Every structure is written in structure tokens, then in C-alpha cells.
Amino acid sequence: MKLYERMIEIAGPWAAGRTVKDLRFGLGYSCVELDDGRMGVACTLLSEKTCSCTHSMHAGQIVDSSAEKILAWLGHDHELERAAGLAVFNALNATNSRNFVAGEAISLLKIQPADHVVMVGYFGPVVPVIKAIGCRFEIVELNPEKPDVVSPEAGFRALEECDVAIITSTSIINGTCDTLLQALKRNRAAVMLGPSTPMCHEAFAGTRITQLSGSYVVDKDLVKTIISEGGGTRLLKKHLRFNNIMV
């Protein structure tokens, strides 16, 4: 079963009777607020080329849709629709009881100088922290303009050999997550990282992911405003609560 199928199956009962009150597709992030006030965020990706100024054919028809309908967009081909589906999942999951683990996400991985670490997605603030440890460190990034990155092909080989993996949850939106998870073979630790992370250990049971490090919305109004005005993680983080869950 693919990850998105597992997520839809898990969250389907949570979606019963719920509708979408508000949806914002920002330049950096998207957010969904449900009719009961719960909110979730997900990264916005617009890597797909279009000859039109319209990015969603569903525009004007999403508000008041059932949460179950938009949750199912996790399985769609369009990245913007998958972002909406992930934001709905995160909203539905927002008030579920979880065993949170305090601490900074990277510190919890307990990276040692002898480790081989692979990062999928360029987390700028994290890079110098890992480099300072002195371990073997490779960064896999689709944007070749980022410094010191390896190609996706080399990255998949590195994932098979690594001790620790750091994987961006944006991979759920761009459709690469399942392939990345399947590439992990011998790692002792692996984290899904970023504000988009679905904080639901059930979704990752049976994978080699050991940690989920993501966010919860604290100030709904400010999050909606920042997203609508083109803000990203740097501005949003003051209005999010970051947490960790062990899988």
C-alpha cells in the first residue's frame, strides 16, 4: 500500500461530517481550515509547467467541500491538489493525542562522526549543524543550483547505504516519498522533517522512518495571513508549534 493510500485510510473516519471552511494556496505554503476550526499546513509546489494563469481548475469550488473529498486529493497527480490533501490530513490529525518527544529534531537523531548521513531536500539552517559533526554528509536536491548537492540518482544509492536519513515531507507532495522510503535499507534512524510532516506514526508503520518532526498551527489567523501574503517557514515558525513523534 502506498503512503497516500494509508493516510487516506487512516484519516477517512476522522473526516466524517467535516467540511473545508477555508483554503489558501500561498506561494510558499498552503493551509486548510476545517469547519470545526482545526487547521493544517503543507508546502506549496508549482513545479508543473502550465500555459495558463490558472493553477487549479477547482478554484471557487473548494470551500464547503467535504474534508473526505479533499483528503482524497492526496492521490491526485497535480501537486497543488496533493498539497491541499496533505493540509486536510494535517488538520484532521491536529487534535489527536500523541506521545510527543521534546527536543530539537536533528539532535534526537544522535548523529555521530562515524555516521553516513543523507539529507533529501535542502534544509539550509540544518546543513552547518551536521557538517560541524564531521560525519560523511550528502545532500540530495532537485535544484542543482543549491551548493554541494548530489543528483537524485546518486542520492538513491546513498540512501541504501546511509546510517541516518533526513527526508523532507515535501516528498509526499512531489510524489517521490514512496520511492525514497523503499530506498532505505540499513539506516538506524530516519526522520520526516518540515512543517508539512504528517504527525501520525500509524502512517509510517512498517517503514524505516523512526521519527516524525513537524508542526501544529498555533495562531490560525496569522498563519492564514502570512501564507496569503507569500510568507514561508521563516515567518510562519513563530505561529507554529514544532514537535517530534517516534515511530
pLDDT of res. 136: 97
Listed residue (103, 38, 86) closest to 245, CA to CA: 103
CA proximity to 121, closest of 160, 159, 79, 163: 159
- pLDDT given for residue 152 in this prediction: 83
DSSP string, 163-190: SEEEEETTHHHHT-HHHHHHH--S-SEE
CA distance 229 to 181: 34
146: its cell numbers: 543549491
* Domains by residue range for the chain, with CATH: 3-97+218-227+233-239 (3.30.390.100), 107-216 (3.40.50.11590)
User: Nearest Cα to 121, choosing from 180, 185, 77, 203?
Assistant: 180
Question: pTM of the full predicted structure?
Answer: 0.95
pLDDT tens-place values along the chain, 247 residues long: 999 999 999 999 999 999 999 999 999 999 999 999 999 999 998 766 666 788 888 888 899 999 999 999 999 999 999 999 999 999 999 999 999 999 999 999 999 999 999 999 999 999 999 999 999 999 998 777 788 888 888 889 999 999 999 999 999 999 999 999 999 999 999 999 999 999 999 999 999 999 999 999 999 999 999 999 999 999 999 999 999 999 9
* 141 closest CA partner among 124, 155, 131, 125: 155
Q: Which amino acid is at 18?
A: R
Would you state the cell numbers that stand for residue 94, as one nine-digit string?
491536529
Q: List, as own/partner pairs, every contact residues 51-59 make where C-beta atoms lie below 8 angstroms and the sequence separation is at least 24, other chains included.
A: 55/25, 55/80, 56/25, 56/80, 56/81
Best CA proximity match to 199, nearest among 141, 227, 240: 240
Task: Quote the radius of gyration of the chain (alpha carbons, Å).
Answer: 17
